[in-house]
Structure 1
């Protein structure tokens, strides 16, 4: 065992642990995945044959060779598990949502400061190909002053699945909303107001499955939308500015690649579905996508733990996302 490596412990091996965390930890130079908390040893070892699987969070936190704990448990346990890991002297990465309440997220952030531990939240969609492309178009002034943005994460899931995720507190707003809110705050900062329509539209659904949330800025509106009753769910972004519009269909391919069992590496994160820019004269052209790469988050996190770089998602930024999420829930 190389003690110069950052030893990582993973809490949970559902979709998050299996597709968004374990493959990237394994692929990150200087990191070593040393243990996973799971009740399903066979599932973990089907992907990671030699992995140490422990039955409890307490057992994981007792491991002296673990420096970073990744919390990928159900939402309601995020704050509890993050606090326990920080108090055990570990650095912590919490999957989104940071917590189920703004108050709990603040407690976790305060504890990390008190204990001098690095705390970050997994807002990986900052490294999506489509988002990076949009950020470039805005930065380079291609679209002019942005007036209207629609950011979609739609699905076609007309029958609710019998899983905890379909009954989670906050429903799809706390599931998909964190991605869209974080991206909006990264591009445009804190809005001056919020209007929220968050609803349950599917028969038999135990949690909200639709949202249309408008972030109001003085001369801009940013609309965050998701429905699980969208048979045509290809639209990702529609952005309109004083110099033209950019329309993007299709989602970043990194999630589907890891779900399919591909390990990050090589020609990773290339989105083949190009967006279309239409200028003020009505002339349209395809826009090549920037390359998405979640590995950049993990490399930055490793550097931050070693004291060689900045936290890729500081707790203060994740708290700003949580405040918007909770404000929308209270006002819907």
Structure 2
């Protein structure tokens, strides 16, 4: 199948291009890159891949699907236009600024009879897939609660504005991860850290308490404004606990010059010294890293389209994530626990 990427900022360059190229099921038709500097960056990263001036020009070249990875403020119109033109769509996260807009996009996909999905690639993070294997083993017994953190020392990539902020950015990832592990969220307690004023006010940190319908309670925190880097996954069950502080493995590998296609033997595997620890009545053991690979998102999308089935990231799940973020913002503004 033929696919194109719309936008070539950090997301297009680091989180989409290498994985589309690694998925042999897809032919990359081109990238929408309008400025001279962006076209130069594309030529350096992917020699020979054509640059297009617009979404319509890319679709006219003949694609089955497009990936919309432009800034959030431009994403809605592009998703609607791509569906109107009759192609399948991958929308980057945040899927939408609010649940109302998410429902609008879902309705448009149904009306067009085309697949729309959301790039929740961090379902294939190394630490998450390793944790999933631990939970599947049953060694923790019934899970009571979880403590996650995704802290990044990088204010430079945080857009400012009423529809931006860290809650909608990294918050979309961690909420999706936790609902994949423990099921839908019913209620939210939230706190947001703010900088700026007026239309430039933006949240640069958050703490969420998520009450899952399954009975599990999960707490998750994140910041880009506190000069702090940390990834933490702690899960506590009746029979023990599992604690992980793995790195952002795939991003670090890309920045070191590795790619999922050229370095498949080591791709997405954490160094042994950073393996998580499972502690039960039998003692503490290090848990070998599972392989994380965002390429699986694109392989899964191809399988779903070829079979006429639903991709791994469903629209119902994407809408639920946005609704949880809406509830979190409301909770932070009112100081009250908010139902999803």
The yes-or-no answer on 1:276 pairing with 2:269 is no
Q: Which residue of 1 aligns with 2:15?
A: 20
In the aligned structure 1, how far is the partner of 2:96 from the partner of 2:49?
Answer: 28
2:223 to 221, 227, 243: 227
Offset at 1:165? Answer: 2.4
Structure 2: gaps of 5 or more residues: 333-340
Q: Which residue of 2 aligns with 1:43?
A: 41
In the aligned structure 2, how far is the partner of 1:193 from the partner of 1:16?
Answer: 31
Kindly indicate whether the alpha-carbon contact (under 8 Å) linking 1:236 and 1:251 is maintained by their aligned counterparts in 2: no
Offset at 1:230? Answer: 4.8
Kindly indicate whether the alpha-carbon contact (under 8 Å) linking 1:69 and 1:90 is maintained by their aligned counterparts in 2: yes
Q: Partner of 1:326: helix, strand, or coil?
A: helix
Q: TM-score, normalised by structure 1?
A: 0.90
Q: TM-score, normalised by structure 2?
A: 0.88
Q: What per-residue deviation string (whole Å, max 9, x for no partner) do you get for residues 1-59 of structure 1?
A: xxxxx111111001110111111111111211112111221111111121211122232
Q: Which residue of 2 aligns with 1:262?
A: 258
1:207 to 198, 202, 205: 202
Change beyond 3 A, Cα 1:49–1:217: closer
Change beyond 3 A, Cα 1:181–1:289: same
Query: For residues 1-332 of structure 1, what are the structure 2 equivalents within 5 Å?
Result: 6-38=1-33, 39=35, 40-63=38-61, 65-157=62-154, 160-161=155-156, 165-167=159-161, 169-200=163-194, 206-217=201-212, 219-231=215-227, 233-265=229-261, 266-267=264-265, 268-272=267-271, 273-280=274-281, 283-307=283-307, 310-332=310-332
In the aligned structure 1, how far is the partner of 2:218 from the partner of 2:189?
Answer: 10
Q: What per-residue deviation string (whole Å, max 9, x for no partner) do you get for residues 271-311 of structure 1?
A: 12200112247x32211121111122111111112226541
Kindly indicate whether the alpha-carbon contact (under 8 Å) linking 2:117 and 2:311 is maintained by their aligned counterparts in 1: yes
Q: Partner of 1:42: helix, strand, or coil?
A: helix
Q: What per-residue deviation string (whole Å, max 9, x for no partner) do you get for residues 119-171 of structure 1?
A: 111111111121112112222211112112111110224xx43x562557341
Between the two proteins, the alignment pairs up a number of residues equal to 321
Coordinate RMSD, CA, aligned: 2.1
In the aligned structure 2, how far is the partner of 1:30 from the partner of 1:315?
Answer: 23
Offset at 1:261? Answer: 3.8
Structure 1: gaps of 5 or more residues: 1-5
Q: What per-residue deviation string (whole Å, max 9, x for no partner) do you get for residues 182-206 of structure 1?
A: 1111111112311011122699x85
In the aligned structure 2, how far is the partner of 1:103 from the partner of 1:167?
Answer: 19
Kindly indicate whether the alpha-carbon contact (under 8 Å) linking 1:201 and 1:210 is maintained by their aligned counterparts in 2: no
